[in-house]
């Protein structure tokens, strides 16, 4: 009865609105709570009760967690220890406290943990304090998933470096706002050039990260601000480190290479200059005097306009080593990024062999072994920049005498900015499982970054996360599965995307089998769908690379020095990266892999345009030409996205309304934007190649009424740039910023029920209002305020980044009646409209 009462009282929180702040650490009641509770001891023994120690934190989490999950109130241990207890601490603390207990020491390495549940006794022991906390979180996760039975777990991390990077600026403004490529609101650390007075969110972030085994956070943008080194800001950083410390999370810092000049008043930042070396040693000493457990530094040098050692004719190793040496007496690490390229030298018209992808190996290969032992080279997974599909960076196979870490991106910069659902773990898994065949021996990427393949002691993972003040952290509830999976895969690379997703869903949304199934279906379909509608065959995410990296703009890839080229012309497409005829990039891989990528026949087709320049008429293994594959894939991917909102809707009532609505809003938006992607890409290549779609879809939209063909009053026709971002290249905008526009037409479609879709543009320069009428009766009214509601980067233009669709379902339409859109501009936003689609029910186009 007690149990029933407990469930009635606590079970209510199942449907209580949730804002996402606790993410997967909700400690929500589980269905089999009574049975589980009976298996858990009621006494808690915490082997270090010092406030702020990770073991003490572990004790608190266990108390709070078990109370929430199974309604158990743990009692602290009195003078005499009961025979059955839940004990948490380090192995050493346990042996100290229990000198007579016979105990087989588990084989633990740094941060590892051991859990034994046996005969009503639970022991959670870490190799160190952090490990004990990890063990406590693991145990709570097991109980949350409905398992408190006898078991033994010994778990060690594969790699010592399991960091996250935040690209947080010290203040809002500039081109990137508070967090560069962040879509979850302003920085949780910085505000107005200083460290926030209230760091509650920093502590909560550390808690989440500790629960997935992350041991350090680099808190500021790699495009670093030198003023972070002021004494006042160093004090602030120490406060962040204090907020992290109870969770065993260390603080790391990005440095601006030119700080000696920018902040220190020196005339140079040359790493060989004595005053520069002294400057950095002084900085490091000052930081460690405030933060004795600081993790170390992260350095972006000679990249995208950032200064670096090459500026002073020194090598990248000279630069990295300078920082590393200052850190050595403190045990700190220097993470040095391999994202080094000089866009000023890249010109695609001058040279067929020019290739940004070649840069990392060219710069770093010859430096292998020349780095201090506490330098780790942080390498983006692919040779360009977080694209929807890239081959593994060949640099991983070149650094055999230097530790390396893989840089993954949890924030979805090129992958839909959390406004599109894209579950990334399947992509990471493919990358980590890739065998580079160094010296023709098994050389899985996961074994390289774990240090196993080349016997490295310092190596691992860096994930760019970019959470913000939004209660959902990343701006989207479902996007949090990426963060969870990142931590779990960095701990154990064999973690499966499906498995970890199921675990995350249970912890985040509860045990309902349908909820778990739906989130699995959506998430597992999401990366393939996004790849299909954004850029397939290895051509890259065909997004707008000159603006917000959002929405379609295939033309922006070429004709500029950023090197994300596709070399698409009227007949052919793709980068020839072969050794024999192209940029030579394929030859940067070990011979077996190089040979595979060198030939069209042996290159996996999902990367064929990454490695080869081919005619649109080249026939793929499927029997389709490249151009037809493009058309079909874009139609297929966007069709999959149409199913997402419908699948999600089946969960109504099964999860709290707040999260249900939040996710639905985004999935509906994504479905509309997937159509924008599909049409833009297909029309762009149709226009380039002149080859029609065999199925006659591209360029033919029989259900559409183009806004420019309607009767316009107060609206005028606008030629959209790029042309493919509008249906038939044109849209309408109000004639000025203060006059309402009216676009009307007479419906020629047969009478019946339709889904009425309106494609419009929601720029971040105002909040226009649109009204849709059928025969003067209002069908719907909406506002262009996505800039406040969706989190993606704000964009000012009328293009594929702002193109949006709203659909009114099941509307009775009569032939001969009038359809009218009334647009009221606001600010600089001229209520733009592209077209209206009258879609027979069930059809999307």
The least distance separating ligand GCV from the CB of residue 282, rounded to whole angstroms, comes to 27
**Token pair listed for 448:** 């390289």
Distance CA 469, CA 184 (A): 6
Which among 215-223, 552-560, 740-748, 760-768 is the span making contact with ligand GCV, rule CB under 6 A? Answer: 215-223
Which among 29-37, 220-228, 724-732, 759-767 is the span making contact with ligand GCV, rule CB under 6 A? Answer: 220-228
The least distance separating ligand GCV from the CB of residue 563, rounded to whole angstroms, comes to 11
Cβ-based nearer residue to ligand GCV, 364 or 718: 364
The least distance separating ligand GCV from the CB of residue 339, rounded to whole angstroms, comes to 5
Cβ-based nearer residue to ligand GCV, 18 or 180: 180
Angle at 534 between CA 529 and CA 535, to 5 degrees: 105
* H or E stretch covering 278: helix 274-290
How many Å separate Cα 550 from the centre of its chain? 14
Sign of dihedral through CA atoms 82, 84, 88, 89?
Answer: positive
Among 85, 195, 222, 667, which residue sits at the site for ligand GCV (rule: CB under 6 A)? 222
Distance CA 294, CA 722 (A): 48
The least distance separating ligand GCV from the CB of residue 380, rounded to whole angstroms, comes to 7
The interface with ligand GCV within residues 242-261 (CB under 6 A) comprises none
Distance CA 808, CA 810 (A): 7
The least distance separating ligand GCV from the CB of residue 341, rounded to whole angstroms, comes to 10
Cβ-based nearer residue to ligand GCV, 301 or 774: 301
Known catalytic residues are 304, 385, 413
The interface with ligand GCV within residues 345-404 (CB under 6 A) comprises 385
Cβ-based nearer residue to ligand GCV, 87 or 221: 221
Q: What is the CA radius of gyration of the chain?
A: 28
Cβ-based nearer residue to ligand GCV, 70 or 548: 548
Among 113, 167, 610, 754, which residue sits at the site for ligand GCV (rule: CB under 6 A)? 167
The least distance separating ligand GCV from the CB of residue 181, rounded to whole angstroms, comes to 5
| Residue listed under structure tokens 């993790």 | 295
250-255 and 296-299 beta bridge pairing: parallel
Cβ-based nearer residue to ligand GCV, 258 or 813: 258
Cβ-based nearer residue to ligand GCV, 177 or 587: 177
* 3-class SS shares of the chain: helix, strand, coil, % to 5: 35, 20, 45
Cβ-based nearer residue to ligand GCV, 167 or 183: 167
The least distance separating ligand GCV from the CB of residue 562, rounded to whole angstroms, comes to 8
Which among 94-102, 196-204, 218-226, 578-586 is the span making contact with ligand GCV, rule CB under 6 A? Answer: 218-226
The least distance separating ligand GCV from the CB of residue 589, rounded to whole angstroms, comes to 23
Cβ-based nearer residue to ligand GCV, 413 or 598: 413
Show the binding pattern over residues 563-602: x = contacts ligand GCV (CB under 6 A), - = does not.
----------------------------------------
Distance CA 354, CA 258 (A): 29
- Give φ, ψ of 33 to 5 degrees: -60, -40
Question: What is 57-112 written as a DSSP string?
Answer: HHHHHHHHHHHHHH---PEEP-SSPPSS-EEEEEHHHHHHH-TT---------TT-
The interface with ligand GCV within residues 647-676 (CB under 6 A) comprises none
The least distance separating ligand GCV from the CB of residue 682, rounded to whole angstroms, comes to 26
- Give φ, ψ of 593 to 5 degrees: -75, -40
The least distance separating ligand GCV from the CB of residue 169, rounded to whole angstroms, comes to 10
Among 168, 180, 503, 799, which residue sits at the site for ligand GCV (rule: CB under 6 A)? 180
Which among 192-200, 219-227, 637-645, 824-832 is the span making contact with ligand GCV, rule CB under 6 A? Answer: 219-227
Cα dihedral 135/140/141/146 (nearest 10): 130
Distance CA 839, CA 791 (A): 29
* H or E stretch covering 279: helix 274-290
C-alpha pair distances (Å), 738 with each of 227, 436, 735, 741, 824: 43, 61, 9, 9, 8
Work out whether 138 is an interface residue with ligand GCV (CB under 6 A).
Answer: no
Distance CA 419, CA 803 (A): 13
* H or E stretch covering 822: strand 818-824
Cβ-based nearer residue to ligand GCV, 300 or 429: 300
Which among 17-25, 221-229, 252-260, 696-704 is the span making contact with ligand GCV, rule CB under 6 A? Answer: 221-229
Query: CB count, 10 Å around CB of 308?
Result: 23
The interface with ligand GCV within residues 300-339 (CB under 6 A) comprises 300, 304, 339
Which among 217-225, 528-536, 563-571, 683-691 is the span making contact with ligand GCV, rule CB under 6 A? Answer: 217-225
Distance CA 464, CA 411 (A): 6
Cβ-based nearer residue to ligand GCV, 385 or 532: 385
**Token pair listed for 391:** 């081959």
Work out whether 179 is an interface residue with ligand GCV (CB under 6 A).
Answer: no
Work out whether 223 is an interface residue with ligand GCV (CB under 6 A).
Answer: yes
Contact 534, 636 (CB under 8 A): no
The interface with ligand GCV within residues 408-447 (CB under 6 A) comprises 413
Distance CA 372, CA 328 (A): 9
> Of 420, 475, 466, 468, nearest to 788 (Cα)?
475
Sign of dihedral through CA atoms 565, 568, 569, 573?
Answer: positive
> Of 402, 384, 397, 398, nearest to 339 (Cα)?
384
Distance CA 824, CA 773 (A): 14
Contact 477, 508 (CB under 8 A): yes
Half-sphere exposure of 242 (CA within 13 A, CB side): 13
The least distance separating ligand GCV from the CB of residue 179, rounded to whole angstroms, comes to 10
Cβ-based nearer residue to ligand GCV, 134 or 167: 167
Contact 609, 675 (CB under 8 A): no
Question: What is 280-313 written as a DSSP string?
Answer: HHHHHHHHHHH-TT--EEEE--SBTT---GGGGT
The least distance separating ligand GCV from the CB of residue 256, rounded to whole angstroms, comes to 12
Among 37, 138, 181, 673, which residue sits at the site for ligand GCV (rule: CB under 6 A)? 181
- Contacts to ligand GCV by CB under 6 A: 167, 180-181, 221-223, 300, 304, 339, 385, 413
């Amino acid at each position: 009865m007690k149990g029933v009462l407990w469930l009635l009282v606590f079970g209510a929180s199942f449907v209580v609105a949730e804002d996402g702040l606790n993410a997967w650490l909700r400690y929500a009641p589980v269905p089999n709570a009574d049975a589980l509770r009976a298996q858990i001891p009621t006494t808690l023994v915490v082997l270090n009760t010092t406030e702020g120690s990770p073991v003490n934190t572990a004790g608190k989490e266990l108390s709070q967690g078990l109370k929430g999950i199974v309604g158990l109130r743990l009692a602290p241990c009195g003078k005499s220890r009961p025979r059955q207890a839940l004990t948490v601490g380090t192995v050493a603390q346990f042996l100290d406290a229990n000198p007579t207990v016979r105990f087989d020491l588990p084989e633990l390495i740094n941060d590892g943990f051991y859990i034994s549940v046996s005969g009503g006794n639970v022991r959670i022991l870490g190799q160190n304090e952090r490990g004990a906390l990890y063990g406590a979180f693991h145990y709570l996760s097991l109980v949350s998933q409905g398992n408190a039975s006898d078991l033994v777990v010994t778990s060690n991390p594969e790699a010592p470096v399991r960091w996250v990077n935040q690209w947080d600026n010290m203040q809002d403004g500039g081109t990137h706002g508070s967090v560069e490529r962040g879509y979850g609101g302003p920085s949780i650390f910085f505000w107005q050039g200083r460290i926030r007075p209230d760091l509650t969110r920093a502590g909560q972030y550390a808690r989440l990260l500790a629960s997935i085994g992350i041991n350090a956070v680099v808190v500021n943008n790699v495009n670093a601000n030198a003023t972070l080194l002021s004494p006042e800001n160093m004090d602030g950083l120490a406060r962040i480190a204090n907020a992290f410390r109870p969770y065993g999370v260390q603080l790391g810092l990005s440095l601006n290479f030119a700080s000696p000049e920018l902040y220190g008043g020196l005339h140079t930042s040359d790493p060989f200059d004595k005053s520069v070396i002294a400057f950095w040693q002084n900085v490091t000493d000052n930081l460690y005097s405030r933060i004795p457990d600081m993790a170390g530094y992260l350095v972006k040098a000679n990249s995208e306009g950032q200064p670096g050692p090459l500026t002073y004719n020194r090598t990248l190793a000279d630069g990295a080593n300078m920082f590393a040496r200052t850190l050595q007496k403190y045990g700190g690490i220097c993470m040095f990024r391999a994202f080094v390229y000089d866009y000023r030298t890249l010109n695609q018209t001058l040279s067929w062999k020019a290739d940004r992808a070649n840069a990392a190996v060219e710069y770093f290969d010859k430096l292998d072994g020349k780095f201090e032992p506490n330098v780790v080279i942080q390498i983006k997974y692919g040779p360009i920049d977080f694209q929807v599909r890239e081959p593994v960076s060949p640099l991983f196979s070149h650094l055999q005498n230097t530790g390396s870490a893989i840089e993954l991106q949890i924030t979805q910069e090129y992958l839909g900015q959390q406004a599109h659902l894209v579950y990334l773990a399947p992509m990471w898994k493919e990358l980590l499982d890739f065998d580079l065949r160094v010296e023709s021996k098994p050389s899985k990427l996961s074994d390289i970054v774990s240090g196993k393949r080349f016997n490295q002691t310092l190596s691992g993972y860096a994930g760019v996360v970019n959470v913000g003040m939004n209660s959902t952290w990343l701006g989207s509830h479902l996007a949090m599965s990426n963060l969870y999976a990142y931590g779990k895969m960095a701990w154990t690379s064999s973690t499966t995307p499906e498995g970890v997703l199921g675990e995350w869903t249970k912890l985040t949304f509860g045990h309902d089998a349908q909820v778990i199934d739906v989130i699995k279906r959506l998430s597992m379909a999401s990366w393939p769908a996004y790849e299909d509608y954004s850029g397939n065959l290895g051509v890259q995410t065909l997004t707008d690379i000159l603006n917000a990296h959002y929405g379609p703009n295939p033309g922006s890839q070429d004709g500029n020095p950023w090197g994300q080229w596709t070399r698409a012309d009227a007949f052919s497409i793709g980068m020839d990266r072969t050794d024999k005829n192209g940029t030579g990039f394929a030859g940067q891989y070990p011979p077996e892999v190089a040979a595979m990528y060198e030939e069209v026949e042996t290159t996996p087709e999902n990367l064929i345009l990454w490695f080869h320049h081919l005619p649109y008429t080249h026939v793929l293994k499927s029997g389709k030409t490249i151009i037809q594959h493009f058309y079909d894939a874009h139609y297929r991917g966007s069709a999959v996205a149409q199913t997402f909102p419908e699948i999600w809707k089946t969960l109504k009532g099964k999860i709290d309304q707040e999260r249900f609505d939040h996710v639905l809003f985004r999935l509906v938006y994504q479905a509309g934007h997937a159509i924008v992607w599909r049409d833009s890409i297909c029309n762009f290549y149709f226009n380039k190649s002149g080859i029609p779609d065999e199925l006659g879809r591209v360029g033919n939209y029989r259900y559409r009424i183009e806004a420019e063909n309607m009767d316009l009053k107060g609206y005028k026709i606008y030629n959209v740039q790029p042309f493919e971002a509008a249906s038939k290249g044109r849209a309408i905008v109000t004639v000025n910023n203060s006059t309402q526009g009216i676009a009307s037409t007479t419906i020629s479609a047969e009478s019946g029920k339709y889904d009425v879709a309106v494609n419009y543009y929601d720029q971040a320069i105002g909040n226009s209002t649109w009204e849709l009428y059928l025969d003067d009766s209002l069908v719907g009214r909406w506002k262009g305020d996505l800039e406040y509601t969706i989190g993606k980067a704000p964009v000012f233009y009328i293009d594929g980044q702002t193109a949006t669709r709203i659909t009114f379902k099941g509307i009775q339409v009569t032939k001969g009646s009038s359809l009218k859109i009334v647009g009221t501009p606001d600010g600089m936003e001229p209520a733009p409209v592209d077209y209206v689609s009258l879609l027979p029910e069930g059809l999307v186009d």
